[in-house]
Structures are given as C-alpha cells and as structure tokens.
Structure 1
Amino acid sequence: MTEAKPPADLAPFAGRFVDRTHWFAVRIYYEDTDFSGIVYHANYLRFCERARTDMLRAIGIDQRATHEAGIGTYAIMGMDIRYHLPAKFDDALIIASRATQIRAAGCHIQQRVMRDDDLIFTADVKAAFLNPKGRPTRQPKQWVEAFNSVLVSE
C-alpha cells in the first residue's frame, strides 16, 4: 500500500480579517466540555489565545522568530473576562478579535466569542512586550506598524 499524501493546499485554518476585525472559527469537541456537558471555563482562554496568535500571524508578526532571536515576546499582563452564555458539544463558535490600542511596549486586544448571534464570552486583553530578562521593552517597529494597519478605536 502506498502512503497517501495530503493535498498541497491543506493548512490549519488561521482565520481572516474582514475590515479591521480578525475572525477565527472553533468547533467544540467532547474534550472541550466538562462533566455537565458545557465548555469548561478555562477553554475559552485557550480558544482566544489561538485566535490572537493567528491574528498576529495574519498581520505579519512572527512571534517565534522574535523570541528565538532573543529580542523578546508578549506576555499577558491583564485580562478582563466575562462569561455570558454556555457553549456545548458540537457548537460552532466564532471569535472576533480587534486591536484597540498599541503602545511602545504593549497592546490591547478585545475579543468576543459568539455562537450565531449569541454572545458567549468576552475578553479584554492587555499584553506587554518583554525582553529576555522579563522587563518591558519597546516592541519591534514593524510590529507597531502592523498593529496600526488594523487598529480600531475602543
């Protein structure tokens, strides 16, 4: 039997920008739920992290290369979260992420998790750019420019 090769155009879904909002889809699997059958509360943080990471990748921010080059990395310094409604097994959720503020050493991103027209979860995320010693430092100029290309007012 010969090994099957994956299609050349097959890649993980990374979401996409429409105007200045990044849209990212998540399907709820059994492993995402708790014993009551609803999404375990901490999993919303994982879903939002994936959406933020792909949002940054979509605007050309290569976090891995910057970290490996010893320049620095983002760290979450604050997050205001709110649970509005539960999500359940097999739900299709959409995460909308918007950059609302950019500073020399950080950024602010607002995220909404929705199921159709229902608001499920919200997060206001503040991240700081840290040097390898863990101190806030200016993020790369290219990153600031990338954020400015999608910045929205709060």
Structure 2
Amino acid sequence: MTVHRLAVRVYFEDTDAGGILYHGSHMRFFERGRTEFLRDLGISQSATADRTNPDALLFVVRRFAIEYKKPGFLDDLLTVETAIASISGPRFTVAQRLLRGDDLIAAAEVEVVATGGNGRPRRLPPAMAALIEDAHRNS
C-alpha cells in the first residue's frame, strides 16, 4: 500500500485549555493528510469541485471513524500516515494514523464518496480511479 506521510505540528490553536491536542483537531490533521495524499497522486480537489459544472466531482465524507489511543500535546511534531484501504465504484476508504514517533496517537477510517455537482454519487473518472487503485494495489 502506498503510504503518504505528512508532518504536522501541534499549535496552541489545536489544543484544549490543558495543552492537550483537542479531539476535533485530529479530524483537521486527517483531512490535511487525505488532501495532500490525493494531491501527490495528481488529484486536485479544487480543480474538479466547480458545482456549477455538470461534470463537477466533489469528495464527500460519508463515514469517519476515529479511535483515540494517546494524547498529543502542544508543540508535538506528529506524522499523519494515509493509505487507501479499499475502492469500489464511487467510493474509497482511507486508513489513517496519527503518530508521534512510533507512538500511535489516533487511528481513523474514512469513507469518501465521489459526487457530482448535484450531490448524487458518481463513479470516479477512469483515470482518477486508476490512480487511486494503483495506490491501493501498491500495498
């Protein structure tokens, strides 16, 4: 599986009053990891997301499951690991991990569905599906 890695620093805005990584910040970090992973595959979400275009392609999170393992802290340097777990029709599932060194902070599984400008699911364009399938196959 192609594993993408993104370094993220925990800033004050990412923490609660006690300096611990706020649970909502995990989701932002995972979103950044998914976005950069797709960008590295050659998929630009902003280039396909014009909802006024009938051929628009938008990625919508259908399901987001997260398991918190250990706390993160202010100024930690973390790594978001992202990989494609599965792909089928208009959807793909992404497996993600948030790490501090070798310590697992959180793990997430995110189901993403491709939709058209009308909000209905649509198959991924063949070239895009091939990029995601290749990332999944190279596991």
TM-score (norm. length: structure 1): 0.83
Contact 1:22 1:98 in 2 (8 A): yes
Matches of 1:31 and 1:38 in 2, distance apart? 11
- State the 4+ residue runs in structure 1 displaced beyond 3 angstroms: none
Question: Shift in Å at residue 117 of structure 1?
Answer: 1.1
Give ranges in structure 2 of 5+ residues lacking alignment. Answer: none
C-alpha distance after superposition, 1:27-74 (max 9, x if no partner)? 111111111110111000000000100000000112111112542201
Amino acid across the alignment from 2:7: A
Q: Distance in 1 between matches of 2:43 and 2:105?
A: 28
Match of 1:82 among 61, 67, 71: 67
Please name the residue that 2:2 is paired with. 20
CA-atom RMSD, angstroms?
Answer: 1.6
1:65-122 superposed Cα distances (whole Å, 9 cap, x missing partner): 1112542201000011111000001101001101011122011000000001110011
Paired letter, 2:47: A
The answer to whether residue 32 in structure 2 is matched with residue 50 in structure 1 is yes
Structure 2 match to 1:139? 124
Equivalent runs, 1:80-119 vs 2, <5 Å: 80-119=65-104
Q: Is the 8 A contact 2:2 2:138 kept in 1?
A: no
Task: Tell me: CA distance 1:32–1:79, structure 2 relative to 1, closer, same or farther (3 Å).
Answer: same
Amino acid at match of 2:82: S
Give the SS at the match of 2:81: strand
How many pairs align?
136
Higher relative helix content:
2
Which structure carries more relative contact order (alpha carbon 8 Å, separation 6+)? 2
TM-score normalised by L of structure 2: 0.92
Query: AA paired with 1:110?
Result: A
Tell which structure's C-alpha radius of gyration is larger. 1
How far 1:152 sits from its partner (Å)? 4.8
**Is 1:129 aligned to 2:114, yes or no?**
yes
The residue type paired with residue 74 of structure 1 is F
